């Protein structure tokens, strides 16, 4: 008890007894960060929804800190270390860019240019300005293709397109073919994948460009991703059968790499490299759904480039082959 002579009311000091609810919330956030797979994907694929925006769960930390201070709880304050440590281990390294542009010796750019882009030629010139070895694009429409070909012809003499995806390269491209990642209930003509061999000075590299189906988030349905997941499984089969050791995957995968729906792809590829590089939506990026993944190569740096006429930001990555 506090003394009446010191002017403080009983129970106003810091205590280990108060704040048990806040401490339990700290524990819950830490568990969700480390084990998001505990959240089931039904109803509404809540697990994938959590994984898509998993880094943002860290915003709970300052809220819980305020609650711990308001409760004057030693217990809640100590428990706050659990989500802080969990978030730092999972995402702390992404706060650092990992090096300077070009450190890997091989640079690639990935961009969903949007089928409603008002200036495809300007977008192409902006992508060329990054000086990348490879440029991969999605939502490349027939009207936009001539503008891309004209803008990139000088610096990127080699290119290939299949459906609405395209690849421009400073190095010769061979063995170009369509990669069929079309879900069963989607009609013919839906072509969103290609594979090519890039003949680089460091040897041949298999390059995949893919645009997985979009997901939808609704107040009653939650996250709907059945088509995206089916397409990811098809892409995973292609990657598993790839005979070349070195592989680069460039694409709009329509989710973050924490999403369990992308496991058929991510389980076959290496880590994404340092840097958050949130790419969508361009006006206020909250997630990186445009990905650069490698196998038998290392992504040493990932970053976004300035906005174009798309609702996505371009993503550039430096790779050590």
Task: Give the domain-ending residue among 60, 95, 130.
Answer: 95
Query: Is the same domain home to 132 and 45?
Result: no
Instruction: Give the pairing of strands 158-162 and 165-169.
Output: antiparallel
C-alpha 91/C-alpha 218 separation (Å) is 28
Query: Is the same domain home to 83 and 161?
Result: no
Residue 300 lies in a domain: yes
Residue 65 lies in a domain: yes
C-alpha 143/C-alpha 171 separation (Å) is 26
Count of CB atoms situated within 10 Å of the CB of 51 = 23
Query: Is the same domain home to 45 and 168?
Result: no
Residue 23 lies in a domain: yes
Query: Is the same domain home to 201 and 243?
Result: yes
Residue 25 lies in a domain: yes
Query: Is the same domain home to 85 and 186?
Result: no
Q: What is the 3-state secondary structure (H, E, C) of the chain?
A: CCCHHHCCCCCCCCECCCCHHHHHHHHHHHHHHHCHHHCCCCCCCHHHHHHHCHHHHHHHHHHHHHHHHHHCEHHHHHHCHHHHHHHHHHHHHHHCCCCCCCCCEEEEEEEECCCCCCCHHHHHHHHHCCCCCEEEEECCCCCCHHHHHHHHCCCCCEEEEECCEEEEECCCEEEEEECCCCCCCCCCCCCCEEEEEEEECCEEEEEEEEECCCCEEECCCEEECHHHHHHHHHHHHHHHCCCCCCEEEEEECCCCCCCHHHHHHHCCCCCCCCCCCCCECCCCCCECCEEEEEECCEEEEEEECCCCCCCCCCEEEEEEC
Q: What is the pTM of this model?
A: 0.85
Query: Is the same domain home to 77 and 110?
Result: no
Task: Give the domain-ending residue among 45, 61, 95.
Answer: 95
Per-residue pLDDT in tens (0 to 9) along the chain, 321 residues: 444 444 444 557 999 999 999 999 999 999 999 999 899 887 777 888 888 889 999 999 999 999 999 999 999 999 999 999 999 998 887 776 555 555 668 999 999 999 999 999 999 999 999 999 999 999 999 999 999 999 999 999 999 999 999 999 999 999 999 999 999 999 999 999 999 999 999 999 999 999 999 987 766 556 678 899 999 999 999 999 999 999 999 999 999 999 999 999 999 999 988 888 999 999 999 999 999 999 999 999 999 999 999 999 999 999 999
Query: Is the same domain home to 160 and 279?
Result: yes
Query: Is the same domain home to 137 and 64?
Result: no
Task: Give the domain-ending residue among 74, 95, 116.
Answer: 95
Query: Is the same domain home to 70 and 201?
Result: no
Query: Is the same domain home to 236 and 87?
Result: no
Query: Is the same domain home to 38 and 180?
Result: no
C-alpha 76/C-alpha 42 separation (Å) is 32
- Give the pLDDT of residue 41: 81
The domain that holds 221 is classified in CATH as: 3.60.10.10
Residue 187 lies in a domain: yes
Residue 8 lies in a domain: no
- Give the pLDDT of residue 7: 44
Query: Is the same domain home to 88 and 156?
Result: no
Structural domain count of the chain: 2
Residue 51 tokens, joined? 């994984």
Residue 7 lies in a domain: no
Residues spanned by the domain of 285: 105-320
Residue 268 lies in a domain: yes
Whether residue 226 has a cis bond before it, omega within 30° of 0: no
């Amino acid at each position: 008890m506090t003394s009446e002579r010191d002017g403080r009311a009983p129970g106003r000091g810091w205590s280990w007894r108060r704040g048990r609810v806040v401490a339990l919330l700290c524990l819950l956030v830490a568990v969700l960060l480390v084990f998001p797979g505990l959240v089931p994907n039904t109803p509404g694929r809540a697990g994938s929804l959590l994984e898509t925006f998993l880094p943002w769960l860290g915003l709970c930390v300052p809220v819980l800190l305020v609650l711990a201070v308001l409760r004057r709880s030693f217990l809640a304050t100590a428990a706050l270390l659990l989500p802080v440590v969990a978030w730092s281990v999972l995402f702390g390294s992404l706060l650092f860019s990992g090096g300077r542009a070009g450190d890997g010796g091989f640079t690639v750019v990935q961009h969903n240019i949007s089928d409603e882009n008002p200036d495809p030629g300007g977008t192409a010139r902006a992508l060329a300005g990054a000086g990348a070895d490879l440029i991969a694009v999605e939502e490349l429409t027939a009207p936009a293709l001539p503008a891309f070909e004209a803008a990139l012809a000088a610096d990127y003499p080699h290119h290939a397109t299949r459906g609405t995806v395209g690849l421009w390269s400073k190095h010769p491209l061979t063995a170009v073919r369509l990669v069929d990642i079309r879900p069963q209930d989607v009609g013919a003509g839906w072509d969103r994948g290609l594979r090519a061999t890039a003949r680089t000075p460091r040897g041949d590299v298999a390059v995949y460009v893919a645009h997985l189906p979009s997901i939808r988030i609704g107040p009653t349905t939650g996250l709907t991703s059945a088509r995206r997941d089916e397409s990811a499984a098809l892409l995973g089969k292609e990657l598993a059968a790839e005979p070349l050791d070195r592989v680069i995957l460039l694409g709009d995968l329509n989710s973050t790499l924490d999403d369990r729906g992308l496991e058929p792809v991510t389980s076959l590829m290496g880590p994404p490299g340092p840097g958050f590089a949130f790419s969508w939506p361009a006006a206020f990026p909250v997630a990186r759904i445009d990905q650069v993944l490698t196998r038998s190569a290392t992504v040493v740096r990932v970053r976004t480039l300035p906005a174009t006429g798309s609702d996505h930001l371009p993503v550039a990555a430096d790779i050590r082959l």
